[in-house]
Amino acid sequence: MKFLGFIVVCLTGALLLYGTGEFPDWGDPNSPASLHLSDYYIENAVDQTKVPNLVTAVLADYRGFDTMFETSVIFCAGLACFLLLRDFREKKERFYRHVPTGVILHVKSGKKVLKTGKEFEHMDKDWVPSDLIIKTVCRILIPFIQIYALYVVAHGDFSPGGGFQGGVIFGSSLILLAISYDLKTLVKRIKEKVLGIYAALGVLIYVGIAAICMPMGGRFLDYAALAPLVWDPHHVRALGMLGVEIGVGMAVTAVMAIIYINIVSEGRHDEGL
């Protein structure tokens, strides 16, 4: 297998290298790729869409249709993780810790659930005492990460960033919460149902904004048709893009959390890293 793989790889490499023979030089401003469409976007995008970040302009407007399906791909990944891993059966084995004394209770089976609170707390099987420094630092850090994520989403029109990056950052702040405390803390705060609805709703915002353009007299995704609905018709395309980016951000946040929770707890949503 190794030898066969080596031959296949070498053949592919040779084919690709052969193809590079007629490439224009790296960074050549006159290569065909940087003349045909690129010039049009650079010269007209700001005029037509009022968005200075050309990548966002092309991403959410000229090629917004791609991005819509890209968001669906992300949604699909979250759904796939849910379908593959989610296991609704409760685990019989449970661990509790008596807070004042530090004694650990191991419940092997049985229905009785201890009330957790001041006296007892849930414990993971592979549990390590959580560090005060880590907990405190993360507690301080998480709100700032989230605000930064919102900034990235909202400011995607003007600077690098946008719905996807912001969503990932927001999602990783949730993951940080789960890592620094434990998975139960996250799952208790944000229910699985909320995450699922958020993921679908995020994509729905995108497709919805795109679809509303049709009864408003435009083509699918033609933000210009939304002009009567917004307060600033001059910037209607930029506003449409902002709405779309918010949708993407929501979907991505939720999906990142769903994937993490399902992988780390094998779909049981009880204990993890």
Partner 1 sequence: MDNTPALIVVTPLLAALFAGLAAWIKERLSYPIALIGLAVSVYSAFKVLMQVITSGTIHYRVAGWAPPMGIEYSIDLLNAMVLLIVSSIAFLNLIASYKSVARETSDRTGSFYTMYLLFVTGLLGVTATGDLFNLYVLIEITSLTSYAMVALGDRDRGPLASLNYIFIGVIGASFYLLGVGYLYMQTGSLNMADVATILSGIHGSSTVLVAFILMMIGVWIKMALFPLHVWLPNAYSYSPIAFARVVAPLMTKVMVYVMIRMMITVFGFDYIFKTLNLSHAVVWLATIAILAGAIMALSQKNLKKMLAYIIVCEIGYMVGGAWMGNQLGMTGAILHILNDALMTFALFLAVGNMAYKLKKVDLPDLKGLFGKMPWTMAGFVLAAFSIIGVPPTCGFFSKWYLILAAFEAGAWHFAAALVISSLICAVLFFRVFEICFFEPISESHGQKDGYSHVAIEEAPISMLIVSGLVSLSLIVAGLYSGTIVNTIILPFLR
Partner 2 sequence: MHWPIDLIVLTFVIFCAIAAISVKDLLATAILFGAYSFMMCLLWTIMGAVDVAFTEASVGAGVSTVFFVAAIFRTSRRTKD
Partner 3 sequence: MTDLLALIVAKYNYWLYVILMMIGLYAMIAKNNLIKKLVGMNIFQTAIILFYVSIGYKRDATIPIIQSAHGGQDAHAAVIHAADYINPLPHVLMLTAIVVSVATFGVAMALAVRIYQRYQTLEEDELRMRLVDIGPEK
- Strand pairing class (104-107; 120-123): unpaired
Q: Which residue has the tokens 């605000």?
A: 147
Question: Binding partner of residue 214 among partner 3, partner 2, partner 1, none, CB under 5 to 8 Å per kind?
Answer: partner 1
Site for partner 2 in 247-266 (CB under 8 A): 256, 259-260, 263-264, 266
- Nearest approach, Cβ of 50 to partner 2 (angstroms)? 18
Site for partner 2 in 161-180 (CB under 8 A): 161-162, 164-165, 168-169, 171-172, 175, 179
* Cα-based angle 117, 123, 127 (whole degrees, multiple of 5): 145
- Nearest approach, Cβ of 216 to partner 2 (angstroms)? 30
142-149 LR contacts (CB < 8 Å, sep 24+): 142/173, 142/176, 142/177, 145/169, 145/170, 145/172, 145/173, 145/176, 146/170, 146/173, 149/173, 149/249, 149/253
Quickly count: other Cβ atoms within 10 Å of residue 143's Cβ. 10
- Nearest approach, Cβ of 120 to partner 2 (angstroms)? 25
| Residue 62 binds partner 1, judged by CB under 8 A | yes
Q: What sign for the dihedral angle of Cα 82, 88, 90, 96? A: positive
- Nearest approach, Cβ of 140 to partner 1 (angstroms)? 34
Which residues touch 161 (CB under 8 Å, ≥6 apart)? 152, 153, 155
From the list 264, 219, 255, 214, the residue with the least C-alpha distance to 72 is 255
Which amino acid would we find at residue 264?
A: V
Task: Name the residues that contact partner 3, by CB under 8 A.
Answer: 1-2, 4-6, 8-10, 12-13, 16-17, 20, 23, 25-29, 31, 33-34, 37-39, 41-43, 45-47, 50-55, 57-59, 63, 66-67, 70, 73-74, 76-78, 80-81, 84-85, 158-160, 164, 259, 262-263, 266
The DSSP call for residue 155 is: T
With CB under 8 A as the contact rule, the residue among 42, 73, 105, 113 that binds partner 1 is: 73
| Residue 252 binds partner 1, judged by CB under 8 A | no
Binding site for partner 2 (CB under 8 A): 53, 55-56, 160-162, 164-165, 168-169, 171-172, 175, 179, 256, 259-260, 263-264, 266, 272-273
